[in-house]
Amino acid sequence: MPTVKAKSKTVDLDDSDNPEWLAADFKHAKGPDSLSDIELAAFPKTRGRPKSGTAKQLVSLRLEQSVMEALRATGPGWQKRANDILKSAMKAA
């Protein structure tokens, strides 16, 4: 059982749930080629958030300070509410 000395304190490193691998363990280990399609499906192929069906576009827009203060005062999610306000104004026009 290995021990580590850290700042005048000896810490016992006993991890019986995760023993050290031996050569035989590596020989019997499965690689990614031996995994079934179901097992491979558990690992996502891409990173990050899933893509939306309706992609949004990043824009730079200059608005009056009073408009921005009013939107931000509505709390978290104000950007979505601003988008909804613009959509309803387009439908009304």
In the 3-class helix/strand/coil scheme, how is 55-93 assigned residue by residue? CCCCCCCCCCHHHHHHHHHCCCCHHHHHHHHHHHHHHHC
pLDDT above 90 covers what percent of the chain?
35
User: Which of the four pLDDT bands, split at 50, 70 and 90, describes residue 4?
Assistant: low
> Given this model, what pLDDT does residue 1 score?
53
The domain ranges of the chain are 11-45+58-92
- What's the pTM value of the predicted model, to 2 decimals? 0.45
pLDDT above 70 covers what percent of the chain?
78
> Given this model, what pLDDT does residue 32 score?
67
User: Which of the four pLDDT bands, split at 50, 70 and 90, describes residue 19?
Assistant: confident
**28 - beta bridge partners?**
none
> Given this model, what pLDDT does residue 2 score?
59
